Amino acid sequence: MTTSTPGARLDLAGVLAGIRRMAPLSLFVVIFGLAFGVAALSRGLSGLEAVLMSALVFAGASQFAALELWGPEIPLLPLVATTFAINARHLLMGAAIQPWLAHLPPAQRYASLVVMSDSNWAMAAADRQRGETNVGMLVGGGIALWLTWLAGTLLGVLFGSGIDEPERFGLDVIMGCFLLAMLVGGRRDLSMLLPWSAAALAALAAMAWLPPHSHVIVGALAGGLAGLLVSPGHGEREAAA
């Protein structure tokens, strides 16, 4: 049963501790930010547009997906649908930590969610399970990830302008490798296999039979819908058994 965490708080010391704890992992985010900066330039965005997207959106997978739909005429509805489908997991992530944040003032509570991503959410959720009352990991970790993502994008913009063929350096497959690493390094249970498989198969089918770029939307929706079929506590029950 999920209950509120009494005395949950957010202070500067907790935020700084979250930054320090996330720093080693966040350094790897620079590489993905660099890849995004290079890819954004190759798709026709200016350096300023690429940096502003990373600063204001701060959603790596969605930003790469947006590049797939980028062109002289941007299909707005598919772009919105794709972004929503990819980030729909944040609805569940936010609901999972809501009891932890419930005691914070509204301004702190909602500001904390601005920098929420998969990594700092996972570490913050682990803190909560251990009984930690300071939510600084969520905010500090998110700030560390945001800064390194922004720095990586800036590096990609600065150095990517001289890279005419990103595929020669393997920069076009970094996002795919990142997603594969998430799959291989994630939880070892069948509940995670279903949404990944559904997304992959649906995307491949859409690439073969549907209009261009539709595979991004179809894959994201299929994976999201499959994820809804998986019980949130399935992995934990298996681990307990």
- For residue range 76-106, list pLDDT tens digits in order: 887 887 788 778 778 878 888 888 888 889 8
* Same domain assignment for residues 111 and 195: no
- Which structural domain, as residue segments, surrounds residue 116? 12-186
pLDDT recorded at residue 50: 94
CA distance 218 to 196: 13
pLDDT recorded at residue 42: 85
> pLDDT at residue 161 above 70?
no
pLDDT (tens digit per residue) in 27-79: 888 988 988 998 899 888 999 999 999 999 998 888 888 888 887 777 788 78
pLDDT recorded at residue 103: 83
User: Does the residue 4 lie in any domain?
Assistant: no
* Same domain assignment for residues 122 and 141: yes
* Same domain assignment for residues 77 and 115: yes
* Same domain assignment for residues 178 and 208: no
Nearest Cα to Cα of residue 148 among 22, 61, 27: 27
Nearest Cα to Cα of residue 89 among 206, 216, 217, 225: 225
* Same domain assignment for residues 157 and 57: yes
What is the per-residue burial (b if ≥16 Cβ within 10 Å, else e) of 190-202?
Answer: ebbeebbebbeeb
* Same domain assignment for residues 216 and 203: yes
Q: Which two tokens stand for residue 16?
A: 């700084």
User: Does the residue 71 lie in any domain?
Assistant: yes
The neighbour count for residue 129, using CB atoms within 10 Å, is 10
pLDDT recorded at residue 155: 93
- Percent of all residues in the chain with a pLDDT value above 70, rounded to a whole number: 77
pLDDT-based confidence at residue 236 (cuts at 50, 70, 90):
very low
Nearest Cα to Cα of residue 60 among 195, 168, 178: 178
Q: pTM above the 0.75 mark? A: no
- Taken in order 81, 220, 53, 42, the sign of the CA dihedral is negative
* Same domain assignment for residues 123 and 218: no
pLDDT-based confidence at residue 237 (cuts at 50, 70, 90):
very low
